[in-house]
């Protein structure tokens, strides 16, 4: 469009729709074909698919790079790590999505990668661990403690040491944080979460500016068969159209609920970067366009009290995952791999319901 760059809210609606030819569909069609007539760019569905191309155009446009869409966030993460030569040094976060940490641990135990674990919210400690690295893996805001890492400074440090930086941008989405603009080489997503937004599909994505790097990661997808199905991709594209308004409501709800929870007698601590007293607040305010819809809080009375809250809510759903229109709550430490979570910590994915209904539900459950 003439007259300058579109805002991300408009890009989320307009990207990935194909040419405006008379009679052409306005929405990307679901192309259910495993094979394509010989002689074109793509002949087989594990290599490419027009519906997938549309979602890649949309997510890539929002992140400001090229995009490869995967069958899940874990498939996307596996492709990034799988592209590293054996013996590579990876600096990885002690606090991050637990199955990404499990995958790194396994590759370290198998001797495929050397992993140095650091608290990536501690910038100096992270930079000190970067010597000789191939890859710095960062999640910010991070599961489940909502830690914020200084993406620009860490990217510079990783590059100085001769490596790349990857940011898991699932919690923020490209609408609230653009890691590639901050210097990261790759942004990884579980598109299962906010991008799709309705807890009905599993999908992942990797975005980057260097075409050769993204091509190598796309080739991993082809080798691993980690391709997304066109129907799931269509649903993600449909979900993406409303990402801006969903996020706007979720984060305004989250801000209000975080304020109220931090004054609640049954709550020990609230972790939300939007709160002025939060350790990540200033950094998040600098590098993000908003604080998002994810938070965590610790319930007085330990794991049992926290479990009681998760089982007592009626509007909010006791379930794992995040980023859907519906509010979800769970005690993170119930997962054996989630070693970073205090036993009484509830992770709360704030949805788009009315804030007063959410508060009534939470307050009643906390008093139960």
Ligand X SMILES: *Cc1c(COP(=O)(O)O)cnc(C)c1O
Minimum gap (Å) between residue 310 Cβ and ligand X: 18
Give residues with Cβ within 8 angstroms of 323, minimum separation 6. 170, 192, 193, 194, 195, 196, 197, 199, 293, 294, 349
Q: Which of 101, 178, 185, 193 is catalytic?
A: 193
Residues 64 and 180: beta-carbon distance below 8 Å: yes
**Least separation, in Å, of the C-beta of 223 and ligand X?**
18
Neighbours of 282 (CB within 10 A): 12
Cβ at position 5, least distance to ligand X in Å: 28
From the list 68-76, 244-252, 269-277, 342-350, the region that binds ligand X by CB under 6 A is 68-76
Which of 46, 238, 241, 364 is flagged as catalytic? Answer: 46
Among 16, 73, 163, 351, binds ligand X (CB under 6 A): 73
Name residues contacting ligand X, limited to 83-102 (CB under 6 A): 97, 100
Size of the site for ligand X (CB under 6 A): 14
Task: Determine whether 168 is an active site residue.
Answer: yes
Minimum gap (Å) between residue 169 Cβ and ligand X? 8
Q: What are the tokens at 214?
A: 């993204």
Instruction: Closer to ligand X by CB, 226 or 283: give it.
Output: 226
Closer Cβ to ligand X, 74 or 267, answer by number: 74
Residue from 53, 101, 150, 168 carrying the catalytic annotation: 168
Whose CB is nearest to ligand X?
73
Active-site annotation holds for 46: yes
Active site residue 193: yes
Could you say whether residue 139 binds ligand X (CB under 6 A)? yes
Q: Which of 15, 48, 67, 72 binds ligand X (CB under 6 A)?
A: 72
Residue 160 phi/psi, 5-degree rounding, is -60, -35
Tell me: does residue 141 bind ligand X (CB under 6 A).
Answer: no
Rounded CA gap, 37 and 322, in Å? 40
Selected from 143, 196, 213, 349, the binder of ligand X by CB under 6 A is 143
Length of the chain: 368
Shortest Å, Cβ 162 to ligand X: 26
C-alpha angle 211/216/222, rounded to 5°?
125
The Cβ of residue 41 has, within 10 Å, a number of other Cβ atoms equal to: 7
Q: Are 165 and 158 in contact (CB under 8 A)?
A: yes
DSSP state of 368: -
The Cα angle at residue 193 between residues 156 and 256, in degrees rounded to 5: 85
Q: What's the token pair of residue 315? A: 């509007």
Stretch that binds ligand X, among 11-19, 66-74, 81-89, 220-228 (CB under 6 A): 66-74
Alpha helices in the chain (DSSP H): 8-14, 50-63, 73-82, 98-109, 123-128, 151-160, 173-176, 211-224, 230-240, 243-261, 281-287, 302-312, 355-367
Looking at 53, 97, 101, 331, which residue is catalytic?
Answer: 97
Q: In this structure, are residues 164 and 135 in contact, taking their beta carbons and an 8 Å threshold?
A: yes
Q: How far is the CB of 361 from ligand X (least distance, A)?
A: 23
Q: Find the binding residues for ligand X in span 156-215 (CB under 6 A).
A: 168, 170, 190, 192-193, 202, 204
Residues that bind ligand X (CB under 6 A): 72-74, 97, 100, 139, 143, 168, 170, 190, 192-193, 202, 204
Residues taking part in catalysis: 46, 97, 168, 193
């Amino acid at each position: 469009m003439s007259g300058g760059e579109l805002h991300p809210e408009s890009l989320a609606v307009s990207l990935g729709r194909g040419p405006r030819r008379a009679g052409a569909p306005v929405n990307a069609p679901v192309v259910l074909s495993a094979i394509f007539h010989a002689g074109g760019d793509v002949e087989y569905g594990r290599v490419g698919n027009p519906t997938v191309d549309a979602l890649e155009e949309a997510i890539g446009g929002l992140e400001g790079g090229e995009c490869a869409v995967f069958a899940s966030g874990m498939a996307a993460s596996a492709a990034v790590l799988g592209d590293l030569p054996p013996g590579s040094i990876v600096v990885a976060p002690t606090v991050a999505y637990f199955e990404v940490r499990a995958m790194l641990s396994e590759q370290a135990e198998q001797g495929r990668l050397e992993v140095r674990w650091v608290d990536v919210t501690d910038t100096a400690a992270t930079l000190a661990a970067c010597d000789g690295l191939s890859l710095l893996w960062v999640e910010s805001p991070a599961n489940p403690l909502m830690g914020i890492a200084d993406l620009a400074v860490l990217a510079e440090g990783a590059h100085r040491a001769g490596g790349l930086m990857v940011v898991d941008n699932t919690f923020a989405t490209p609408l609230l944080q653009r890691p590639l603009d901050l210097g990261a080489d790759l942004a990884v997503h579980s598109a299962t979460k906010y991008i799709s937004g309705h807890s009905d599909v599993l999908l992942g994505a990797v975005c980057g500016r260097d075409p050769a790097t993204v091509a190598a990661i796309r080739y991993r997808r082809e080798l691993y068969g980690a391709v997304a199905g066109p129907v799931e991709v269509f649903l993600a594209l449909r979900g993406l159209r409303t990402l801006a308004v969903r996020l706007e409501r979720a984060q305004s709800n989250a801000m209000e609920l975080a304020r109220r929870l931090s004054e609640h007698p049954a709550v020990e601590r609230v972790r939300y970067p939007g709160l002025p007293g939060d350790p990540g607040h200033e950094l998040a305010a600098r590098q993000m366009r908003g604080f998002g819809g994810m938070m965590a809080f610790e319930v007085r009375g330990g794991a049992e009290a926290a479990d009681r809250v998760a089982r007592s809510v009626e509007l909010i759903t006791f379930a794992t995952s995040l980023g859907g229109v519906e509010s979800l709550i769970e005690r993170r430490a119930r997962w054996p791999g989630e070693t970073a979570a205090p036993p009484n910590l509830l992770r709360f994915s704030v949805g788009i319901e009315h804030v007063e209904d959410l508060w009534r539900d939470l307050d009643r459950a906390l008093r139960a």
